[in-house]
Structures are given as C-alpha cells and as structure tokens.
Amino acid sequence: MEEAQPSLVNCLQVQGRVVYACMMREVITRFGRHNLGVLWLIAEPMLFTVGVATVWYALRLNHASDIPIVAFAITGYSSVLAWRNCASRCSMAIAANRALLFHRNVRVLDILLTRSILEIGGATGSFFLLIAIFASLELTYLPRDPLTVAAGWLLLCWFGLALGVLIGASTGYSEVVEKIWTPAAYLLFPLSGAAFMVEWLPESTRPYVLAFPMVHGVEMVRDGYFGNVVHAHYDVQYLMTTCLAMTLLALALTRLAARRVKH
C-alpha cells in the first residue's frame, strides 16, 4: 500500500513548529537566558529609536512646527529598523546555520523566515510601545487614524520580510551580495523617507524618491498618525506590487540557494 501523503494543514503545522523551534534557538543564542533575555528583542530597537528621537528633538530637525518631532522620529526610524534589520540579520544566515539543515524538516526558508520574523516582531513591539510611552508623557499624541497606521506598518513589515529573505537567499548563492548590501543599507537610509516628508521636497525630485517602495510605507504611516497636519504622498498599489514581486523573486532565489547548499 502507498503511504498516505500528509495534508496541507499537517505540513503547515510541522513547519510552524520548525519555525518556532528555530526562533527559540535564535533568541537564546543571541540574548541568552539571563537578565532581560528575550525582552532585548524589543529593548534593543527601542534604545536606537530613543537615541535618534533625542538627537532630533535636541536639534529640532522637524520641517513643520505642527508635527511633534518625537513622533516624527519614531515613525521614521522605526520603519527603517523594520526592513534594514531583516536584511542585515538574514545576510549570510544560511552559512551560519548550515548545521541545522541536516535536520529533515528544516529548510533554508525556515532559517530566513525565523530571523525576519524576530526582527519584525522586535521593531513592531518597539514602535507601538514607544508611541504609548511618549503619548503618556505628553511628548506626542496617539495616532489620528490607527487603522491607516496599522495598514502602513503591515506593508512595511511585508517589504522587510521580502527584502530579508531576498538578501539572505542571495548571500547564500554569492557572498558578494553581503559586501554590496552593507554600504547599500546606509546609503538607503537618507532616501527611505525616515527623515523627511515627500511634500517637503522639490516637485521635480518627488518621482525619483517615490521610486523607493519603503517611502510609500512611511508616508502611509505618517498620514495615519498625523492626519490632516501632513500632506502624504503614497501609492498602496505600487507598494503591494513591489512587495509581491520581491516575495516571488525571494522564494525563487531561496530554492536555488537550497540546491546550492545540498551540493
């Protein structure tokens, strides 16, 4: 008799357990079991964001007096952490976790998803916790349209997840990608929309800036946060199409990288 094939639900349950186990291993490896432990996953991006917000507040780096500089810094720098940390953590992740691939149920995609999900979870927790803390201190106010903020943040997380898997799979295929990505990540920061609103730019330069997908996500988050105080420029369809294309490309490269590891 032929062995019965497992159902899709069973496969998803198995892979869910695999990803969870890989996440627990990653957390213990990175943060250990002592002191704050897993809380460092949120505390680490919080420290970075608070540092940037403090500097921006001290220098008054806001272009519009009606926008709270603290909220402007949080919405900007947190969005950068959501995609940049995913790609940076996934870079060379395959080589670092090669031993795990000897387990039958562990796949290259599981390793990349694990690191991306952890970074997104940390950035998300930091983002919303900082908003609550600074709003309670009356240094800013709560979002005007929480649903738009949540939708924009989810799209940024999708972009970060796709970028993380894409960079991770690419570095598994060629180590040159890591050498290119490291400086590229720093160069992309001033173009990501974190430190400016598209409305503040000369009209002739806006189409070039809006070619970067993450700018649309940041503009959407700020549109929901500040409401009518800002004039945001974003195209949800463009961002979703870009994320979908990146996801498909990332999955294809992951498959190639997995074959390369086996050989």
Q: For 200-244, write each residue's pLDDT tens digit.
A: 999 999 999 999 999 999 999 999 999 888 889 999 999 999 999
Closest CA to 128 of 75, 196, 52: 75
Range of the domain at 250: 8-262
**CB-based contacts of 116, cutoff 8 Å, min separation 6:** 86, 89, 90, 160, 161, 164, 165, 168
- Please give the pLDDT value at position 263: 52
Buried b / exposed e over 81-105, threshold 16 CB at 10 Å, is: bbbbbbbbbbbbbbeebeebbeeee
- Residues 88-113 have pLDDT tens digits of 888 888 887 787 777 777 888 888 99
How much is the pTM?
A: 0.88
**104 is a domain residue:** yes
**102 is a domain residue:** yes
Q: Of all helices (H) and strands (E), which one includes residue 21? A: helix 8-31
- For residue 187, CA distances in Å to 39, 85, 134, 199 come to 30, 14, 29, 21
CB-based burial of residue 189 (10 Å sphere; 0-12 exposed, 13-18 middle, 19+ buried)?
A: middle
Count of domains forming the chain: 1
**2 is a domain residue:** no
- Residues 240-261 have pLDDT tens digits of 999 999 999 999 999 888 777 6
Cβ pair 125, 42 in contact under 8 A: yes
Mean pLDDT of the chain: 85
**36 is a domain residue:** yes
**1 is a domain residue:** no
Q: How many angstroms separate the CA atoms of 58 and 67, rounded?
A: 15
What's the token pair of residue 155? 């799209």
**95 is a domain residue:** yes
Q: How many angstroms separate the CA atoms of 54 and 40, rounded?
A: 20
